[in-house]
Amino acid sequence: MIDIHSHILPSIDDGAQNEEEALALARAAEAEGIHTVAATPHHQNGSFVNEAADIRAKTRHLNDAVQAAGINVTIIPGQETRIHGEYLEEWEKGTILPVGGNTDYVLIEFPLDHVPRYASQLLYDIQLKGLIPVIVHPERNEEIKDRPNLLYSLVKNGSLTQLTAASLTGRFGSKAKQLSLDLLEANLAHLIASDAHDTEKRGFHLQEGYAAVETKFNARFVKQLQANAQRLIQNERLLIDPPEHVKKKKFLGLF
C-alpha cells in the first residue's frame, strides 16, 4: 500500500518528535504492508511553517536512516498546506511542495471549523497553475459535516479529496465515519490516507480503513482507491466517477 499523507518527519511538526519515533512509524508502516509513505508536514497552519527545501532535505535524511535500520519503506516528500491567502505567491517562490516532490498534486487543508469563503476561487486559481488540489480530511471539517454538498461544487470544479483512514474506522466519531461513507458513495472522495502522527494515538490504520470500505461497498472500490494513491505518486490522472450530491438521510421517527 501507499500512504500519501503522514507526519513521519521528525522534529518538524506535531508528528514524530525525534528520529526514534519516526523509525517506529516506519516500522509500523512496514508491518501494515505500506511500502511508500509520503511525509507531509504541516505548513502555514498557524503553528508550523515547513517550506519545500527543508522538507526535501529532511526526507532524504530520514530515508537514509530508514534504509540503515533495515526497514523496507520508502519515504517520499510532500506537504500538508493550510489554505491561505498567499498560496499562489508561495507557489511562485517555490516553498510549496507537491506530493512526491514533482507531481501536480498538492495537499490542501481547510481550518477544522469552517471552509473559507475564498476557497472556491483559490482552488480554481491553483489549478490554473497546473496543480491539482487534494482537499485533505473534509470529513473532519465542521462546516462540511453540516453542509456536505459544499464539497460537491469544489469537486465538480476539479478538486480531489482524501479521507483519513481512521475516520472510516470511527476513531474520529460516528459523524465523521458516516460522512466518510456518504462522500465515498457520492463520488466525492478519491483517496484514503493515514495522516499518521505517532504509533499510539494516531497510527496508520490504512488496512482497517480499506477494510471498512470493502465491508460497506466492495473490493473493487478498494482497488480503485489504492490505484489512485499509486497513480497520484506517479503523476497520472486518478480514476474518478462523476460527483453526485450527498443525499439527505431520513431518520426513522423524525419524518
- Which of 195, 198 has the CB closer to Fe ion? 195
Distance of closest approach, residue 195 Cβ to Fe ion, in angstroms: 4
Q: Which stretch binds Fe ion (CB under 5 A): 159-167, 189-197, 215-223, 235-243?
A: 189-197
| Residues 78 and 101: beta-carbon distance below 8 Å | yes
Cα–Cα distance measured from residue 53 to residue 101, given in angstroms and rounded to the nearest whole number: 10
Q: Which stretch binds Fe ion (CB under 5 A): 18-26, 160-168, 192-200, 227-235?
A: 192-200
Distance of closest approach, residue 106 Cβ to Fe ion, in angstroms: 13
Distance of closest approach, residue 212 Cβ to Fe ion, in angstroms: 19
| 195 near Fe ion, judged by CB under 5 A | yes
Residue nearest to Fe ion (CB): 195
| Residues 66 and 29: beta-carbon distance below 8 Å | no
- Which of 21, 195 has the CB closer to Fe ion? 195
Distance of closest approach, residue 76 Cβ to Fe ion, in angstroms: 15
Site string for Fe ion, 27-66 (x = CB under 5 A): ----------------------------------------
Distance of closest approach, residue 58 Cβ to Fe ion, in angstroms: 16
- Which of 47, 251 has the CB closer to Fe ion? 47
| 13 near Fe ion, judged by CB under 5 A | no
Distance of closest approach, residue 48 Cβ to Fe ion, in angstroms: 11
- Which of 9, 150 has the CB closer to Fe ion? 9
Residues 68-87 that bind Fe ion (CB under 5 A): 80
| Residues 65 and 82: beta-carbon distance below 8 Å | no
Sign, CA dihedral 147-148-149-152, equals positive
| 198 near Fe ion, judged by CB under 5 A | no
Angstrom distances, CA of residue 141 to CA of 103, 116, 163, 196, 255: 26, 11, 11, 18, 27
Q: Which residues pair with 229 in a beta bridge?
A: none
Q: Which stretch binds Fe ion (CB under 5 A): 152-160, 164-172, 187-195, 243-251?
A: 187-195
Using alpha carbons, select from 202, 107, 189, 198 the residue that is nearest to residue 152.
Answer: 189
Distance of closest approach, residue 7 Cβ to Fe ion, in angstroms: 6
Q: Binding residues for Fe ion, per CB under 5 A? A: 80, 195
